Structure 1
Amino acid sequence: MKHWLITLALAAAASAQAGPMGFKDSTMAMGDFSPNWREAWVNHALTPRDALGAGGLFMRSDDHRLTREFAELTYTRLLKRINGEHSQANFWFVGGAGELRGNDFAGSKTMLAPGVSADYETTRFYASGSLRLYRAPGINHDFASVRTGFSFYEVDYDEIQPWFILEARRMRGLSEKTEITPMLRFIHNRYFVELGVNNMKQGRFNFMYIF
């Protein structure tokens, strides 16, 4: 019975933590909001490994002089999944393309945004890393982040589980600092929410929901 509960809990953790897409035929919505970074997108899983979606991203430099608005269509691919007895590792490709607007140039530019990420999780531990290249003519805003965290205690499949998450991220061309954010995460089998304050004393709110 305990092994069955662990398996279900791990499946819940995987669906709500691991990746940029849900299970086949599901729709996933995600958001990441802070003063200098506001992102929201949605995608639909066409297969267990492929999803198509759309999103919008607002970026602002630390000194508030530069702003970027990026509207993109996305393709997500699960490249590899490794299942252990009580763990799971995933390797992802996320590609995006769309229109970029900024306050330092006229009109719009076509931006391409390919990226890769990897994650590992159990019901008590989580770690991930991602790299995404935001490129347009004359613009390079490559983005990198790493995360790690742990749950405070085990829960059953239908219960909410609290986690502590620590993230470090940086974007080229808009910030000279590495943003570090400790967050509390509350996770269920189809959603999570995260609340934190970064090292620049800015609030952060994230969410994910699988329909």
Structure 2
Amino acid sequence: MQMNNGDASSLHIHYSPTASDSIGFYAERNWAEDVQFTGLQYNRLLKRWNGPSSQANTYLKLGVGEADPFGDASGELSGFAAFAADWETRRWFTSYEARATDYAGNQSLRHSARVGVAPYIGDFGDLHTWLMLQVDNHPEAAEPTTTTPLIRFFKDVQMVEIGYTLETEELLANWIIRF
């Protein structure tokens, strides 16, 4: 998974030994806080609800590694913890994530939520499209609350998201391959 927005760029390469667990490499260049984090991330599916026409999930995400603040190569033990939840049907999508970081003593808390709608319902194997709105809250940022309209394309194992954050005039681009 490769994610980019105005605050950070990250690379996430994981292996799932079970249906509920994944572990792997995580690197993030946080532009907003001028820090590079490199380490391991563990994800745990806490609970999944499968309904007749919907699915909901809760996740725990933990990371530990080294942060190099301000490019001074003095790597310090650092980490993050996040809780995420989502609910979706073939037409509607909602998600929420709270993420706390401590990158070399630079602590922050972020909230992110999304709501989306699929303008059409495709069959298995078709290109699926979602129109979404993401709202982020990062109290320490120069612009604490931002909104990002985005479009998501999903086909087979590929997912691409392109958006534009209105308040900061920055591009959001995410690419995920699942295999």
Classify the TM-score, shorter chain.
over 0.9
Alignment of 1:186 onto 2:153? yes
Read off the aligned partner of 2:90 and give its amino acid letter: T
Equivalent residue number for residue 14 of structure 2: 43
Read off the aligned partner of 2:66 and give its amino acid letter: E
Q: Which residues of structure 1 form unaligned runs of 5+?
A: 1-29
Query: 1:121 Cα shift?
Result: 0.6
Secondary structure of the equivalent of 1:155?
Answer: coil
Equivalent residue number for residue 201 of structure 1: 169
The Cα RMSD (Å) is: 1.7
Any conservation in 1 of the 2:69–2:104 contact (CA below 8 Å)?
no
Any conservation in 1 of the 2:75–2:104 contact (CA below 8 Å)?
no
Any conservation in 1 of the 2:37–2:103 contact (CA below 8 Å)?
no
| Structure with higher strand content | 2
1:126-137 matches, cutoff 5 A: 126-136=93-103
Query: 1:91 Cα shift?
Result: 0.6
1:134-153 matches, cutoff 5 A: 134-136=101-103, 138-153=105-120
Deviations 1:175-194 (A, max 9, x none): 44212110011112322101
Partners of 2:139 and 2:68 in 1: CA distance: 17
| Structure with higher helix content | 1
* Number of residues of Structure 1 aligned to a counterpart in Structure 2: 178
Q: Would the alpha carbon gap of residues 116 and 110 (structure 1) be closer, same or farther in structure 2, given more than 3 Å must change?
A: same
Equivalent residue number for residue 24 of structure 1: none
Structure 2 residue corresponding to 1:102, chosen from 69, 73, 95:
69
Partners of 2:137 and 2:39 in 1: CA distance: 20
Equivalent residue number for residue 121 of structure 1: 88
Q: Would the alpha carbon gap of residues 136 and 206 (structure 1) be closer, same or farther in structure 2, given more than 3 Å must change?
A: closer
* Larger displacement relative to structure 2 (50-59 or 104-113): 104-113
- Structure with the bigger RCO (C-alpha within 8 Å, sep 6+) is 1
Equivalent residue number for residue 79 of structure 1: 46
Q: Which residues of structure 2 form unaligned runs of 5+?
A: none
Q: Would the alpha carbon gap of residues 137 and 203 (structure 1) be closer, same or farther in structure 2, given more than 3 Å must change?
A: closer
* Larger displacement relative to structure 2 (102-111 or 151-160): 102-111
* Sequence identity percentage: 27
Read off the aligned partner of 1:207 and give its amino acid letter: W
Any conservation in 2 of the 1:135–1:142 contact (CA below 8 Å)?
no
Q: Would the alpha carbon gap of residues 178 and 193 (structure 1) be closer, same or farther in structure 2, given more than 3 Å must change?
A: same
Equivalent residue number for residue 158 of structure 1: 125
Deviations 1:1-50 (A, max 9, x none): xxxxxxxxxxxxxxxxxxxxxxxxxxxxx111134311110111100101
Partners of 2:53 and 2:64 in 1: CA distance: 36
